[in-house]
Amino acid sequence: MKLTIIGTGYVGLPTGVGFAELGNEVVCVDKIAAKIDKLNRGELTLFEDGLDELFRKNVEKGSIRFTLDMENAVKGADVVMLAVGTPPHPVTKEADLQYIYAAAEELAQYLDGYTVVATKSTVPVGTGDEVEAIIRKTNPIADFDVVSLPEFLREGFAIHDFFNPDRIVIGANSEKARSVMLKLYEPFKEKSEFLMVKRRSSETIKYASNAFLAMKIHYINEMADFCEQAGADILEVAKGMGMDSRIGKKFLNPGPGYGGSCFPKDTNAMAQMGKKYGANLNLIETTIAKNDERKAKMGQRVIEAIKNHPEGKIAVLGLAFKGGTDDCRESPAVDIVKEMIKHSDNICAYDPKAIENAKLILGDSIKYANSIEEACKDADVMVVLTEWEDFRNINLAEIKKIMSKAKIIDLRNMLNAEDAKVNGFEYQCIGAKYSA
Ligand SMILES: NC(=O)c1ccc[n+]([C@@H]2O[C@H](COP(=O)([O-])OP(=O)(O)OC[C@H]3O[C@@H](n4cnc5c(N)ncnc54)[C@H](O)[C@@H]3O)[C@@H](O)[C@H]2O)c1
């Protein structure tokens, strides 16, 4: 099928590459010239495990191309997917739909023949109606349907998740649109669950899912605080909870609060939708407020730990909002480093993939290292802020030899507490108390 994807970011690019790999003819369009130029030079604009190889392969085959030209991209497409950003409005915290509306107006001019416009971006309930109205107003003779196609991929696993989605939710109000979407998703028929629902239900499923996951993270963080006071160990508690199939093992890792480009904005947007429709969403509202509090509290915990080292070097491990990505949007690690800067001008950070993006926010207020060892060399304190798997395997005996003092603050519970203790570190983690 001929597929156009508008917005070549963390969703649009892996999705475009994935559909190209499945034999579709894909055009990705963006409005940022530097992005399109880079992609046309054969260079990726973001990090996703496994993306590089598939990208090269499909560019070489000619099954995917990149352009700034909306007309060229949209004409003749069977499906046009909207994958533009829906960031939080700085004042109202609602999803800012300006990019969706602008893209809808632009694409509408070039629709020819029956086309399904599928919204992959996360958009508030009712946005499909708005998009439909904009297209109809801009191009009254266009033959089209607007479908909600929420995206559930996880950054860091985007390629894996593209090919192995748990579910494919299609919110379509017309049979014709439904059959086009089923044809596009035919290769997933055997391995994924399909759910055909009303467009408004589909739009709600995405927010309801993200808000639920954010609440789950908040819940385990609350339990971690409880464990610290009660002398229990959150890792043991989470393990025991996760063995219950009704609860599940995932999203039970305590940390410094959720962040990233989705959970903060989607929980806020959901809370605003609750207000708009007069529905009480207390649980979500509490989660938002308590998560903000937690990030500040965790920042304070780190400050307490480093304040006795005013001159000493502080090694920060991790800047991305989570492991497996170079994305630093709303990263708790970056927020905590911003607090740390107020108390230390000797911070050196390492992240396997996110340094370039972190530099755009933190600039030269800290130093950056090319390895764990470089960050930790002569450091008084090691602060672990992102759950990169590499950090789990740090050889503490060796690291101790190059650090000047033996102190670790592990806000992701990545290191082994016993190992830290055996190697003589003063070790603080989340949800349990250890004394050296
Ligand atoms: N990042 C994720 O893990 C994830 C997961 C599920 C859903 N989502 C949702 O998907 C959407 C996209 O998220 P993202 O992280 O890929 O955003 P992103 O910021 O990485 O990418 C969006 C892209 O859209 C482009 N764009 C904006 N307006 C445009 C226009 N009129 N024409 C062409 N291009 C335009 C931007 O230049 C940018 O490159 C959001 O609604 C987000 O909530 C994201």
Write out pLDDT tens, residues 255-306. 999 999 999 999 999 999 999 999 999 999 999 999 999 999 998 999 998 8
The token pair at 201 is 């239900």
Categorise residue 213: left if φ over 0, alpha if ψ from -120 to 50, beta otherwise: alpha
Do 234 and 158 share a structural domain?
A: no
Do 175 and 295 share a structural domain?
A: no
Do 212 and 169 share a structural domain?
A: no
Domain closes at, from 175, 197, 219:
197
Q: State which residues form the domain around 260.
A: 199-436
pLDDT higher than 60, residue 436: no
User: In the beta sheet, which residues pair with residue 169?
Assistant: 195
| Residue 99 Cα to ligand 1 middle (Å) | 9
Q: What is the pLDDT of residue 399?
A: 98
CA-nearest residue, atom 6 of ligand 1: 151
Candidate list 28, 262, 328, 429, residue with the active-site label: 262
| Residue 384 Cα to ligand 1 middle (Å) | 29
Domain closes at, from 197, 219, 242:
197
Give the CATH number, domain containing residue 436. Answer: 3.40.50.720
Angle between helices 12-21 and 51-61 (to 10 degrees): 60
User: Exposed, middle or buried by CB within 10 Å (0-12, 13-18, 19+), for 11?
Assistant: buried
| Residue 425 Cα to ligand 1 middle (Å) | 43
Do 49 and 25 share a structural domain?
A: yes
Residues in the chain: 436
Mean pLDDT (whole number) for 183-205: 97
pLDDT higher than 90, residue 368: yes
Mean pLDDT (whole number) for 239-248: 98
Domain closes at, from 171, 197, 223:
197
Mean pLDDT (whole number) for 217-241: 97
- Cβ neighbour number for residue 296 with a 10 Å cutoff: 14
Q: What is the pLDDT of residue 337?
A: 96
CA-nearest residue, atom 14 of ligand 1: 10
CB 6 less than 6 A from any atom of ligand 1: yes
- Cβ neighbour number for residue 177 with a 10 Å cutoff: 23
The token pair at 113 is 């023949």
pLDDT higher than 80, residue 434: no
Q: How would you label 106-123 residue by residue, b for 16+ Cβ within 10 Å and e otherwise?
A: bbbebbeeebbbbbbbbb
Amino acid, res. 264? P
Do 264 and 171 share a structural domain?
A: no
Do 165 and 204 share a structural domain?
A: no
Mean pLDDT (whole number) for 182-193: 96
Distance CA(343)–CA(307), nearest Å, equals: 7
pLDDT band, residue 309 (cuts 50/70/90): confident
Mean pLDDT (whole number) for 56-73: 98
Phi first, then psi: what are they for 316, rounded to 5°?
-110, 125
User: Exposed, middle or buried by CB within 10 Å (0-12, 13-18, 19+), for 9?
Assistant: buried
Whether residue 262 lies in the annotated active site? yes
pLDDT higher than 50, residue 246: yes
Domain count of the chain? 2
Do 167 and 120 share a structural domain?
A: yes
Do 204 and 192 share a structural domain?
A: no
Do 220 and 164 share a structural domain?
A: no
CA-nearest residue, atom 1 of ligand 1: 10
- Among 27, 30, 148, 210, the mutation site with the greatest number of ligand 1 atoms within 8 A of its Cβ is 30
Do 192 and 124 share a structural domain?
A: yes
Q: What is the pLDDT of residue 392?
A: 96
pLDDT higher than 80, residue 57: yes
Mean pLDDT (whole number) for 20-33: 98
pLDDT higher than 70, residue 435: no
Distance CA(376)–CA(197), nearest Å, equals: 52
Mean pLDDT (whole number) for 344-371: 97
Condensed to tens digits (0 to 9), the pLDDT of residues 130-178 reads 999 999 999 999 999 999 999 999 999 999 999 999 999 999 999 999 9
Quote the distance between the C-alpha of residue 67 and its chain's center. 25
